[in-house]
Amino acid sequence: MNGVARRARFGHTLHAEWVKFRSLRSTWYMLVCLFAVGLGVMALAMGRAGETYRGASAAERLAWDPTNLSLTSYLVAQLIIGVHGTLVVTSEYATGLVRTSLAATPRRHRLLAAKVVVTTAVAVVAGQALMFAAFLLGQALLAAQDVPNAALGDPGVLSAVAGGGLYLSAIALLGIGLGTILRATAGAIATLVGIVFLVPALSGLLPSWLRGLLDFWPSQGAAAVFTTVPDPAHPHPWLNLGGMCLGIAAVLAAGFVLFHRRDV
């Protein structure tokens, strides 16, 4: 009986999920792609920064935001880390491993909570590392082109970099929630792309009264944390990020309820 109680502890479930997480090839592919593609996008954005700045008007120079420019890697990083979040759940449904996992951990909420904890921990570390690397390398590239650059101690810079890592972590959790609800990789990824990319991209095609509503779309407003120059459309980016996290928490809560009630 004591052995059963020990097996039921959350720490054991957490360890098992960590072993599964690090043994997935997709985990290592995700980390390699996250840094290779993320830093590659940043380098491309910096490629003509000097030429752009020297040809800018006085008003454009006042709005120059070297921090935001170096953090553009988040545009692809959010897709990579979000897709991996979905795979943490949907890959087990695709292979049937979820049955084995539930046999070892009958308390379903513990199993899903362990996945959330492990994925969040990895996403926080990887996301913050990418944002700091993108910022430091990006500013070095700007300095090499002899255009204004930023330092971590400048106003708003550290919060933008740290906020970027938190944003990416939230997207990973959104991926887990969608994967748990839909249980199919293709459907979860399509929904993720729609939420993060498609809806904000379509905002310019909508009438003005509806476009105003999209200013409150979670991912669109939360992305303002990457800037150090105030955005009139999103004057309180951290409130937007908080609202986005609340929305993702609701998605995760729905995932927990469905995971508990549905058959495998």
pLDDT one-digit tens code per residue, 139-159: 999 999 988 899 999 999 999
Alpha carbon distances (Å) from 9 to 3, 12, 79, 107: 10, 6, 33, 10
Please state, for a pLDDT cut of 90, what percent of the chain lies above it. 54
* pLDDT at residue 104, as a whole number: 84
Cβ atoms of residues 100 and 210 within 8 Å = no
CB 104, CB 19: distance < 8 Å: no
What's the pLDDT tens digit per position in 65-78?
A: 999 999 999 999 99
**Helix 108-144 vs helix 74-95: crossing angle, to nearest 10:** 150
Q: List the domain range (segments joined by +) for residue 205.
A: 2-261
Domains identified in the chain, total number: 1
Contact between 180 and 98 under an 8 Å Cβ cutoff? The reply is no
The amino acid occupying position 133 is A
Average pLDDT for 123-132: 96
At 49 the pLDDT is 87
Indicate whether 1 pLDDT > 60.
no
Instruction: Report the residue count for the chain.
Output: 264
Q: The pTM is what?
A: 0.89
Reference 78, options 165, 163, 9; nearest CA is: 165
Over residues 7-24, the pLDDT tens digits come to 558 888 998 899 988 887
Task: Give percent of the chain with pLDDT exceeding 70.
Answer: 93
Helix intervals (H) in the chain: 2-7, 10-23, 25-46, 49-54, 58-62, 66-70, 74-95, 97-104, 108-144, 157-182, 185-193, 199-202, 208-214, 218-222, 237-261
Q: What is the pLDDT of residue 110?
A: 92
Six-digit token pair at 8?
A: 């039921």
Looking at 28-42, 93-107, 168-182, which range is the least confident one? 93-107
